[in-house]
Amino acid sequence: MSDLAKNSNLHIDGAALWADLMETAQFGGTEKGGVRRLTLTKEDKLVRDWFMRTCQSLGCEVSYDSMGNLFARRPGQDNNLPPITMGSHLDTQPTGGKFDGILGVLGGLAVLRTLHQSGYATRHPIELISWTNEEGSRFSPPMMCSGVFAGIFTEAEVLEKRDRAGIRFGDELDAIGYRGEEVCGQHPISAYFELHIEQGPILEAEDKTIGIVTGIQGARWYEVTVRGKDAHAGSTPMTLRHDALVATAGMIEAVSKVAKAHGPSAVGTVGLIENRPNSSNVVPGEVFFTVDIRDPDDAVVLRMEKELKTLMEKIALDNQVTVEIVQIWDAPAVHFDPACIGMVEQTTQEKGYSARRIVSGPGHDAGYLAHVAPTAMIFVPCKDGLSHNEEESILEGDAEKGANVLLGAILKADTELNLK
Ligand SMILES: [Zn+2]
């Protein structure tokens, strides 16, 4: 039988994948059944050691680059070809779950296991990557080391990042022994596929097993300071107030209204607010808050920004206060590679899995990888759309199906890419 005919018979060992998910959940496992595995801590080292050992036992060569990104390489027939890659992250939020990121790494491991046990020979080397510090919880920003890999951040700036205790990223990377010789980013790849939980409610609500992810929506963040005047709550008439909080209330409502007006895909959030002096008998003199707006279409994000600025300035004027709006983050929308999206979609059809195209709300390592290689993502549902939560949960069958789609997409990429 030719390898091509044989590859449709290959499938993931779902029980082994689930066992891996449960085993790694012990590294930083919490009482509530979640995982606390912050970047470059001893729990992070433990799961890395496990990853290296397990990949070696499946016949892979393992290595790590100067940012501590882990690579497990299964050689192909033509090792001059850049590898077809897959991956995600093994770090978690402080009260995270067992699946966010981890499913993508262990799903990739399940692909390697299938290839190893069947003795299937790919043309390209196949590599599994675990990216350092996707969550950005201990060291900000998120997706830090896939960002260095893709040339978004420099290695020097990332090494200097400090956690809230003042501990340097570079020192912690040395301390756990995972700073490699290979310069981060000096690692050509042919394609990248990432399996991930949806972290939202859409697949579950529509009773679909697979999300064929076409891209990641664009996002902009702002810091807003509204300045009025502190005054006595008893003696200052309403007409003479410069109440920063009343003005802010109108602005928060405006964020919600503008997002709804651009619905259903647009979202707008005020999630952090500081009221000063925050005293019950003082008219608030200053308020600081953040705004997060997102949409799959960058033009919509831009329109929302314009409308919001106009509205906020008018609200400030009406309330005799001033408003200062500073943009602190701009992440343009990511559009994944049509050919790679097609490989994912075709696999779902061949397997007979229910599926829909979907745009990711959260950012992912794949968003940065799309800058340097053809990229696509695969989503599986998570219960109640819950993520970044110790109760995060998925179905064993969905994990297996998601990894089967990853396997199918990798094998398609292997036969379809880099043809002479
Ligand atoms: Zn993640």
> How many angstroms is it from 240 CA to the middle of ligand 1?
50
Q: Ligand 1 mean position to 280 CA, how many Å?
A: 41
pLDDT for the residue numbered 164: 87
Give, as residue ranges, everything with CB less than 5 Å from ion ligand 1. 100-101
pLDDT (mean) for 52-80: 98
Per-residue pLDDT, averaged over 77-102, amounts to 97
Distance from the CA of 89 to the center of ligand 1, in angstroms? 7
pLDDT confidence of residue 3: 52
Q: What is the pLDDT of residues 38-65, one digit of tens each?
A: 999 999 999 999 999 999 999 999 999 9
Mean pLDDT of 130-136: 96
Judge if the upstream peptide bond of residue 332 is cis by omega within 30 degrees of 0.
no
CA 389–ligand 1 middle distance (angstroms):
12
The Å distance, Cα 196 to ligand 1 centre, comes to 7
Of 6-20, 53-67, 68-82, 399-413, the least confident: 6-20
Rounded distance from Cα 227 to ligand 1 centre (Å): 37
pLDDT exceeds cutoff 80 at 414: yes
For 338, list phi and psi in degrees, rounded to 5: -55, -40
Q: Across residues 387-414, what is the average pLDDT? A: 97
Asked if residue 281 has pLDDT above 70, the reply is yes
DSSP-assigned letter for residue 323? E
pLDDT tens track for 357-382: 999 999 999 999 999 999 999 999 99
Tell me, what's the pLDDT at 57?
98
pLDDT at 243 over 80: yes
Interval between CA 88 and ligand 1 midpoint (Å): 7
d(Cα 190, Cα 33) in Å, to the nearest integer?
37
What local confidence, expressed as pLDDT, does residue 1 receive?
Answer: 45
pLDDT of residue 8: 65
| Centroid of ligand 1 to alpha carbon of 134 (angstroms) | 7
Ligand 1 centroid – CA 100 distance (Å): 5
Phi and psi angles of residue 162, each rounded to the nearest 5 degrees, phi first: -125, 145
Asked if pLDDT for residue 189 goes beyond 80, the answer is yes
**Mean pLDDT computed over 208-234:** 97
Q: What is the mean pLDDT of residues 343-354?
A: 98
**121 alpha carbon – ligand 1 mean position (Å):** 30
Residue 5 has pLDDT above 80, yes or no: no
Q: What's the rounded Cα separation, in Å, for the pair 399 and 218? A: 28
Distance 200 CA to ligand 1 centre (A): 12
Amino acid 410: pLDDT: 98
Q: If you average pLDDT over residues 241-249, what whole number do you get?
A: 98
Mean pLDDT of the chain: 96
Task: Yes or no: say if 400 and 12 are a contact pair by the CB < 8 Å rule.
Answer: yes
In the reported structure, the alpha carbon of residue 343 is separated from the centroid of ligand 1 by a whole-number distance in angstroms of: 22
Q: How many helices (H) and strands (E) does the chain have?
A: 13, 16
Q: What is the mean pLDDT of residues 149-175?
A: 96
Cα-atom radius of gyration of the chain, to the nearest Å?
A: 24
Q: What pLDDT, on the 0 to 100 scale, is given for residue 52?
A: 98
CA distances from 76 to 60, 81, 415 (A): 11, 9, 12
Ligand 1 centroid–CA 142 distance in Å is 10
Asked if the model's pLDDT at residue 265 lies above 70, the reply is: yes
